[in-house]
Chains A and B, each alone.
Chain A
Amino acid sequence: MADVLAPLAGKVLDVLVQVGSKVEEDDELVVIEALKMENTVYAPAGGTVKEIKVKKGDSVADEELLLVID
């Protein structure tokens, strides 16, 4: 089980996976706009996306839970 956290505060521009998606380590998961850039959040480990806590347009805080990989 791996919790994927926001690496910094920003706005969610895109969620690239769905619940049930199979992912591998370093796959692209979420894009967060911060520091004038669109920053990709990558999978820390392989598995299945169990839960997604954010949607496009959400503001997220630093280290806020984005999704869970099982």
Chain B
Amino acid sequence: MRPYFQKMPGLGKPLKENRIARMRESRAAIEAVEAEIAAAKKAVEEVGIPAAKINERGSLTVWQRLERLVDAGTWHPLHSLYNPNDNEEGTTNVVDGLGKICGRWAVIIGFDNKVLAGAWIPGQAENILRVTNLARRLHIPLVWLVNCSGVKLPDQEKFYADRRGSGTTFFRHAELEQEGIAVLAGIYGTNPAGGGYQSISPTILLAHKDANIAVGGAGIVSGMSPRGGFDVEGLEELIAKTRDIKERPPGRVDIHYDETGFFARVYDEETGVLDGIKEYMRALPAYDPMFFRVAEPAEPQFPAVDLYHLLPFNQKSDYSFDEILARLVDGSEHMEFRPDYGPEVYTGLVKIDGMLVGAIGNRQGLLPKGYPEYADYPGIGGKLYRQGLIKMNEFVTHCGRDRIPLVWFQDTSGIDVGDIAEKAELLGLGQALIYSIQSTDVPMMLVVLRKGSAAAHYIMGGPTANRHNAFTLGTATTEIYVMHGETAAVASYARRAVKDKDSGKPLEPLAQKMNEMAQKYYDTSRPAYCARHGFVDEVVRLKELRGYLKAFAGAVYQNPKSICPRHQMLLPRIIKG
């Protein structure tokens, strides 16, 4: 198969000076949003007790631990701005992402020990579920930096219980282990109750000498018997017990290393724990990337900075998706699947870091005359029509058969609508694509380049593809909503407008309401909002996109559950014809 993959057909061409000049303002607008996002991420990093104070206490912060643990240049953060419950702390209190440890990809997550000593807070359980799902989908180790004081008690009703509540993590850890995915934990500080289970549920426990893990911490051990209220005498007793137990909290190293042996190892230095994790990472199964590479890795022929001149900030402007792809894939090479069919969608094989990946993206701009073939109106890119839907169904199915991971690029306003579109079976073909995705078992990732809208956001590998979507990235130009705000305002108030007009009411108040609705849609579809509410797993700079693609491909091919020998693949042969 070497002739298929070593040198594929070229994609893209150099940018013209007039394009660069024409897109100058657009680039500035994109970079301004990227700067806002970067500032918001920085603020989350600095939340809580200052690092210097944590260091004075003899501890490292979670960020310092990550710095020591993760191979330089491989950290790809996720969920940096995730805070779906708008916690006053500005975070879900865990830090996570993809990174390499000793050359092997892992999903890495740690409690932010600067905030409430790493407590459980609202939204954290959902964040952790995303992370455990990611490890499962990519079939790579999950590494925990546990430093968790347990439940933030005043808010317990918001996250302790429920089907997807904080305890779900422990079941998910068991699930990962049963699927052969190791969960490693480096344990620091005091970890009572929930923190105790965070510590005990992983596969290998490596502890710092001052760490403790317990079913219940000092706080509740000294007050386990409710007496129907509090009085001064009771408080005196409580004070005495607390003073006594604070010196010797339950579940110390002398219990869980010397007695139970739960801790595999104990280290005197905090950094020793991290070195221990590295040692265990080296012991885990991982293919050398060479095993799956179909060609030598190569950078794209064109610079990533071109993306700022290609992807317009103005959502109404068209652009060439093929030129975007040419800035992201190895050697700017590809093998396009059915280029003469379904022109609104790109489908094709590309290489990322030498590994084979399927790519699907919405093309933009006017479509060729006569398309869609079932209608007498013109077709426009970003929208999905019959052929595009059929093509994506076919491509996904072939990728599933050939075990090729998929990257989706969305910039879609939705699926064609109206009776003509219904006759063309678009409703059925959209759901068929969901069925096709669900029939495969390959990891997928999504980049929402600009619009993720209507049902098209679901069917094009969106986060709703729970079992397949490893993670979703947004950019400075991302906007996600069921429909454009003005469309929604018309849908909501068109009849009311007729009624008001017929009854002689002034129309200004209704126009005001409609403008307010459109504005709300705008505000709640911005990149930062999407990140805060988990519509995307991270908003990244355009020039960082390729790094995430490489992380995805590297992680997918590190230890796949299933392999298709390249000489038994069908898709490259179908493309060749």
Binding site for B on A (CB under 8 A): 7-8, 16, 26-28, 31, 33, 35-40
Query: Known: A7-B369, A8-B366. Contact between A38 and B19, CB under 8 A?
Result: no
Residues of B within 8 A of A40 (CB): 318, 365
Count the B residues whose beta carbon is within 8 Å of the partner chain — how many? 15
Contacts of A7 on B, CB cut-off 8 Å? Answer: 366, 369, 378
CA distance A40 to B18 in the complex (A): 14
Are B316 and A16 closer than 8 Å at their CB atoms? no
B317 at the interface (CB under 8 A from A): yes
Q: Is the CB of A38 within 8 A of B318?
A: yes
Check: B466 CB closer than 8 A to any chain A CB: no
- The complex places the Cα of A40 from the Cα of B194 at a distance, in Å, of 57
- Which B119-145 residues have C-beta < 8 A from chain A? none
**B57 within 8 Å of A (CB atoms):** no
Which chain B residues border A8 with CB–CB below 8 Å? 366, 378
Q: Which residue of A lies closest to B382 (CB)?
A: A37
Chain A positions within 8 Å of B365 at CB level = 37, 39-40
Given contacts A7-B366, A8-B366, A8-B378, contact A38 B317 (CB under 8 A): yes
Q: How far in angstroms is the closest Cβ of chain B from A58?
A: 18
Q: Which residues of B contact A31 (CB under 8 A)?
A: 317
A8-B366, A40-B318, A40-B365 given; A35·B380 CB < 8 A: yes
Q: Which residues of chain A come closer than 8 Å to B369, judged between CB atoms?
A: 7
Give the Cβ gap from B343 to chain A, nearest Cβ, in Å.
Answer: 13
Q: Of all chain B residues, which has the CB nearest A35?
A: B380
The distance from the CB of B466 to the nearest CB of chain A, in whole angstroms, is 32
B346-377 near A? 1/0 per residue, CB < 8 Å: 00000000000000000001100100000000
19 further interface pairs, Cβ-Cβ under 8 Å (given A16-B18, A37-B365, A39-B365): A7-B366, A7-B378, A8-B378, A26-B13, A28-B16, A28-B18, A28-B22, A31-B317, A33-B316, A35-B380, A37-B316, A37-B318, A37-B380, A37-B382, A38-B314, A38-B317, A39-B318, A40-B318, A40-B365
Within the complex, the shortest CB–CB distance from B2 to chain A, in Å, comes to 31
Q: Are B316 and A36 in contact, CB atoms less than 8 angstroms apart?
A: yes
- B residues in contact with A35, CB < 8 Å: 378, 380
Closest to B13 in A: A26
Residues of chain A lying within 8 A (CB to CB) of residue B366: 7-8, 39
Measured CB to CB, the nearest residue on chain A to B315 is A37
Taking the closest CB of chain B, its distance from the CB of A23, in whole angstroms, is 10
- A26 (CB) vs chain B CBs: closest residue: B13
Which 3 A-B pairs give the minimum distances between C-beta atoms? A38-B317, A38-B316, A39-B366
The smallest C-beta distance from B323 to any residue of chain A, in angstroms, reads 10
Closest chain A residue, CB of each to CB of B367? A7
List residues of B (524-538) whose CB comes within 8 Å of A's CBs.
none
Can you list 22 residue pairs at the A/B interface with Cβ under 8 Å? Answer: A7-B366, A7-B378, A8-B366, A8-B378, A16-B22, A27-B16, A28-B16, A28-B18, A28-B22, A31-B317, A33-B316, A35-B380, A36-B316, A37-B316, A37-B317, A37-B382, A38-B316, A38-B317, A39-B318, A39-B365, A40-B318, A40-B365
Q: Which of A28, A33, A36, A39 contacts B19 (CB 8 A)?
A: A28
Q: Which of B2-56 contact A (CB under 8 A)?
A: 13, 16, 18-19, 22
Q: How far is the CB of A34 from chain B (nearest CB, A)?
A: 8
Residue of A nearest to B317 (CB): A38
* CA gap between A8 and B366 in the complex, in Å: 9
* Cβ–Cβ < 8 Å partners of B314 in chain A: 38
Please, which residue of chain A has its CB at the minimum distance from the CB of B314? A38
Residue on A with the closest CB to B319? Answer: A40
In the bound complex, residues from chain A placing their C-beta under 8 Å from that of B380 are 35, 37, 39
Question: Interface centre among B13, B366, B380, by most A CB within 10 Å?
Answer: B366
- List chain A residues, Cβ under 8 A from B18: 16, 28
CA distance A7 to B371 in the complex (A): 12
Alpha-carbon separation in the docked complex, A8 to B18 (Å)? 25
Chain A residues near B13: list those with CB within 8 A: 26
CB distance from A62 to the nearest CB of B (A): 9
CA of A28 to CA of B369, assembled, Å: 19
Cα separation A52 to B446 with both chains bound (whole Å) = 42
**Which of A7, A35, A37, A40: most chain B CB closer than 10 A?**
A37
Residue of A nearest to B364 (CB): A37
A37 neighbours in B (Cβ, 8 Å): 316-318, 365, 380, 382
Q: Nearest chain A CB to B274's CB is how many angstroms away? A: 52
**In the bound complex, what is the Cα–Cα distance between A26 and B18 (angstroms)?**
13
- In whole Å, how far is A46's beta carbon from the nearest beta carbon of chain B? 13
Interface centre among A31, A33, A35 (most CB of B within 10 A): A35
Nearest CB of chain B from residue A13's CB, rounded to whole Å:
9
Smallest CB–CB gap between A28 and chain B, Å?
7
Please, which residue of chain A has its CB at the minimum distance from the CB of B484?
A36
In the bound complex, how far is the Cα of B404 from the Cα of A16, in angstroms?
A: 41
